[in-house]
């Protein structure tokens, strides 16, 4: 029962922040699942792959729920989404191929470094020149390629990159968050297919796995996250974004430390 309750709580928190900041929830789900899977005795070499794949599958559903709530507030820039999507899908395929060939510890180090990078950028308050605008189709596609590849490796919805990029282009924060939630959908579709494909028939995976997606954890996470994502999205349009980002940055630092302790503390 303890793992099931932990999955439910993880899904509730991840869904809330997915709606609140457009970050997809992977930065919460991956480290928590990594610690839980280690405690359950899953094969050490597959712990991070399973956490990443399960997180990506969960993002597929939380992004839909969050997207609907942000669209109701008119906060989704659909032209930007159309420009980013082709590159995002291509980047997802590239990232999934790399993730299946990288060791669990290497993925852990990558993810911790990435979380710390996101925390720093959230704490920084960079102000772009007023003249800066979104690039054209080629620039958006190239940006999407980078977002997709990193999102696949880190099993995130892309918000940690998409939101800062859009704000850097002088998109208002609430529209950046809403558009990021929409970008999370093609990322989650491409990433989920990639993690199922690369983990299919892989020896040593625990019962209940679909490729690198652990279905018992996924079911509990979805049950909670689809309820809390709209709550976070509604709150995002009422509270100061800068304050919320500071809180979330602190959470990222704590999770990074916990993941390092869980995976390397005993060695």
Model confidence band, residue 258 (pLDDT cutoffs 50, 70, 90) = low
- Beta-carbon contacts of 229 under 8 Å, excluding residues fewer than 6 positions away, are 15, 16, 18, 19, 62, 65, 66, 69
Average pLDDT of span 194-217: 89
The answer, as to whether pTM is greater than 0.85, is no
Lowest-confidence pick of 35-44, 172-181, 244-253: 244-253
Q: Are 99 and 190 in contact (CB under 8 A)?
A: no
Quick check: 71 pLDDT over 90? no
C-alpha to C-alpha distance for 125 and 141, rounded to whole angstroms: 26
Q: What is the pLDDT of residues 98-154, one digit of tens each?
A: 766 777 677 777 777 877 877 787 777 666 677 788 999 999 999 999 888 877 776
d(CA 62, CA 31): 18
Query: What is the predicted pLDDT for the residue at 106?
Result: 75
Beta partners for residue 209, in sequence order = 214
Mean pLDDT for all residues in the chain: 81
Of 66, 59, 7, nearest in space to 35 by CA: 7
Q: What is the mean pLDDT of residues 176-186?
A: 85
Find residue 248's DSSP bridge partners.
none
Angle between helical axes of 215-236 and 47-72 (0-180°, round to 10)? 30
CA distance 150 to 92: 8
| pLDDT of amino acid 23 | 67
What distances in angstroms separate CA 145 from CA 62, 90, 148, 152, 171, one per listed residue? Answer: 22, 6, 5, 11, 20
What pLDDT is attached to residue 220? 93
Lowest mean per-residue pLDDT among 27-31, 57-61, 209-213, 256-260: 256-260
The kind and range of the H/E element at 194 are helix 173-199
Side-chain-side CA neighbours of 70 within 13 Å: the count stands at: 31
- Residue 182: band (very low, low, confident or very high) from pLDDT cuts 50, 70, 90: confident
Question: Using CA atoms, how far apart are residues 26 and 15, in angstroms rounded to an integer?
Answer: 10
pLDDT higher at 84 or 198: 84
* Angstrom distance (rounded) from CA 202 to CA 104: 15
The residues with which 11 forms a beta bridge, in sequence order, are none
Per-residue pLDDT at 40: 87
Helix or strand (DSSP H, E) at 210: strand 209-210
Residue pointed to by tokens 């430390």? 257
Q: What is the pLDDT of residue 266?
A: 47
pLDDT top residue among 121 and 59: 59
Q: Which residue has the tokens 């959470």?
A: 251
Give the phi and the psi of residue 214 in degrees, each rounded to 5. -95, 105
């Amino acid at each position: 029962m303890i793992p099931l309750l932990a999955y439910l709580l993880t899904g509730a928190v991840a869904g809330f922040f997915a709606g609140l900041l457009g970050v997809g929830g992977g930065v919460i789900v991956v480290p928590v699942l990594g610690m839980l899977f280690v405690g359950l005795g899953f094969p050490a070499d597959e712990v991070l792959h399973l956490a990443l794949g399960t997180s990506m599958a969960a993002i597929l559903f939380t992004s839909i729920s969050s997207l609907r709530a942000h669209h109701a507030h008119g906060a989704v820039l659909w032209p930007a989404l159309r420009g980013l999507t082709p590159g995002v899908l291509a980047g997802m395929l590239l990232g999934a191929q790399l993730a299946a060939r990288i060791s669990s510890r290497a993925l852990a180090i990558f993810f911790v470094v990435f979380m710390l990078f996101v925390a720093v950028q959230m704490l920084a308050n960079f102000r772009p020149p007023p003249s800066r605008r979104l690039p054209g189709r080629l620039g958006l596609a190239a940006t999407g390629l980078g977002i997709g590849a990193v999102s696949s490796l880190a099993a995130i919805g892309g918000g940690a990159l998409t939101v800062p990029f859009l704000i850097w282009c002088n998109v208002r924060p609430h529209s950046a968050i809403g558009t990021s939630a929409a970008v999370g959908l093609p990322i989650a579709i491409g990433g989920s297919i990639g993690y199922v494909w690369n983990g299919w028939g892989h020896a040593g995976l625990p019962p209940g796995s679909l490729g690198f997606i652990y279905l018992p954890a996924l079911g509990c996470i979805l049950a909670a996250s689809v309820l809390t994502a709209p709550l976070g999205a509604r709150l995002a349009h009422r509270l100061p974004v800068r304050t919320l980002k500071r809180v979330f940055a602190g959470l990222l630092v704590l999770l990074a430390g916990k993941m390092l302790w869980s995976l390397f503390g005993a060695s």
